[in-house]
Amino acid sequence: MKNDLNRRNGAQPGSKIGLSNLDNRYKLLTKRNIIVENNFESFTVKLPIIKF
C-alpha cells in the first residue's frame, strides 16, 4: 500500500517512533527488518512474509 506524505506546516518533524517500533517488534518475531521506501511524495512500508 502506498501512502501520501502529509507535510506539516510549522510543526516539528515526526519522531519516527512509529516506524521504529514496528521494525523492532517485527524483528523480534522474524529476525528480519521492515523495508521503508520514501520518494518524498509518498512512502511504502514492506513487511517480509512470515512463514509458520
pLDDT in tens, 26-47: 999 899 999 988 887 888 889 9
Residue located via cell numbers 502506498: 2
For the full predicted model, state whether its pTM sits above 0.75. no
Contact 46, 37 (CB under 8 A): yes
3-29 pLDDT, tens digit per residue, is: 777 776 766 666 768 888 999 999 998
Secondary structure (DSSP) of the chain = -EEE--PPSSSPPP--HHHHHHHHHHHHHHS---EEEE-SSEEEEE-PPP--
